[in-house]
Structure 1
Amino acid sequence: ELNERELQIAERVLKEINERLRFLLDVGLDYLSLDRAAGSLSGGEAQRIRLATQIGAGLVGVLYVLDEPSIGLHQRDNHRLIETLVRLRDLGNTLIVVEHDEDTIRASDHVVDIGPGAGEHGGHVIVSGTVDDLLKSKDSLTGKYLSGRESIPVPAVRRPRDPERMLTVLGAREHNLKDVDVEFPLGQFVAVTGVSGSGKSTLVNDILYTQLARHIYGARTIPGRHRTIEGLDQVDKVIHVDQSPIGRTPRSNPATYTGVFDHVRKLFAQTPEAKMRGYQQGRFSFNVKGGRCEACSGDGTIKIEMNFLPDVYVPCEVCHGARYNRETLEVHYKGKSISDVLDMPIEEAVEFFEAIPVIARHLKTLVEVGLGYVRLGQPA
């Protein structure tokens, strides 16, 4: 308890603390402790803390740009997020939100729909107007799904569960988990859901995956606190698919990451022109000397270091972004050079390499997951 003098001194500080705490409560973070490590927060929690900070700043006349703020948010928290965005707007600010979420789109004052498709098939403004304009549009895929004219069918039959094949986590108690036991049936599509911050990622990533990686591959990462996991002997492989970048340099691209590029280089090395010149597979790599453009070391771009400013990348003046020297580019397969192949959208490359199953198989999978518009040599 503070006496009258201390209250007078602390009044403004306490008011500021209470205001900032209220903003955290308003965006649905009432369950967090103030000493929680920032690295242990989920993506949704971190984004909402940033939003709460902006509301607390009380700025007016600012243009805020948000890139998919609803990622990782439960539908319950979505309404809190939208209320937060509306409050920022009502303060006298402008918000531009890149978003797929239905609730956010419906709550907006003005909608810009880009399309109609992705990559080569996109880049046009289909609708620019109210939500009603979007719903009525015949050309907008977004409008068709929002209005119910198009829908995604729900499977009529579910795969039966085998009680013998089960992974069971016992006594999970990391972060928010309260000593829970969870069963994961094997051979099924298992969805783990719940409100943001309820412990989904902690259970699946920090406990289940980390323990499996230790058991199968001898990984050294320490799993979250739990008693034991039953059924580990029924799994002999575990792969973690997350949103981390597929490469940290401009040299990494979809072709190199999927392993397709090795087969493409092998194919070019087997062409009559390459055999006549004595070119091996390495000649068609942009990572080693020989076939690559030495002016840019196979990058296709040259980095210009700017003092006090971010580095600028400009196309190479010698190869003009082709990455290879003139001799290498003279070797063609079906009328295309290795540089032309890297510049192809994946959906075009599927048809181009249709007769080569080892290449086509990987490319078809990329098209099936909606990446047909990405170019084979697009830097990661």
Structure 2
Amino acid sequence: MSTPQQTRTAVTLDADRTDPAYRSWLKEAVRKVQADANRSADTHLLRFPLPEPWGIDLYLKDESTHPTGSLKHRLARSLFLYGLCNGWIRPGRPVVEASSGSTAVSEAYFAKLIGVPFVAVMPRTTSAEKCRLIEFHGGQCHFVDDPRTMYEESAALAARTGGHYMDQFTYAERATDWRGNNNIAESIFRQLEMERFPEPAWIVATAGTGGTSATLARYVHYMQYDTRVCVADPENSCFYEGWTTADPDVTCDSSSRIEGIGRPRMEPSFVPGAIDRMMKVPDAASVAAVRALERVIGRRAGGSTGTGLWSALRIVAEMVAEGRRGSVVTLLCDPGDRYLDKYYSDAWLAQQGLDIAPFSDTITTLLDTGAWPD
């Protein structure tokens, strides 16, 4: 069923669908977006060192090396191609998105690439660095005080300006070619081909739109792998509750402190039936995990990486306890320099009432002994 915006757009744009100037612009816009993918090398698969006797390998798919610095670069590229090929994105008309940051940074990049305006509708609490990056790529930031109003405000803004509401939360899972075409799942399995455990026991993802976990799980099923997919959910997010209760209408009142993941409602792009497991991760554990990541491999990452890493380490501990060998993959979603005033700030932790010490001790105990403290 068409949204009101798409119906309105279809009516107002019928007259220029066959305009040679528009078709020429469309062909060039699609070429530019596809050329971006052609220029980009694949992202790295980093090893997180574990004791050799465990017989377990832990990897992080480093999505921070994309041109816009995050996993969302893949999503933004797919959404722009989807919107262009559907005739929704038009020359000179703004693209509007509801986003807490990284998706908006990437979409601002692609909007600038094809020469259309971009407006990000986001919570007022979004990190200053992400706002700076959006504006660096030519986008505008439109703030709301209540994160639950982002969707309605984005649609209304697109209607007022004659633009297109990208709506990542609806279209993320359908814009991406989950059967292959060098999506993130195919890339992971290709990079593991020469490793000692080329078919991972688990892939751990986090969920903002839910599109990445849907792509990973669908690809695993399509290729008939035995790999299981786990989704790690932060505090102040309803995905875990919706998955465990099978309630698509579940909501929560607070917004996630882990930027880019966790939602106050079950998003249309989240496909609960495709995934095998979910874990609820305390925000303090997410921060403890990204700080441990820096200590172990010298890389700073955002909080969503910590949420996934915490769950991956817990799965590793379960495998050690059961004497199982194999590999586990999680994602390094974006760089930590976007969050120096948050997850790497002790003052911010104190302000939020987060004590990471017990969770840091848990990680240390695991890496020293192989045991996960009760």
Greater C-alpha radius of gyration = 1
Normalising to structure 1: TM-score of the pair?
0.25
Normalising to structure 2: TM-score of the pair?
0.26
Greater relative contact order: 1 or 2 (C-alpha under 8 angstroms, separation 6 or more)?
Answer: 2
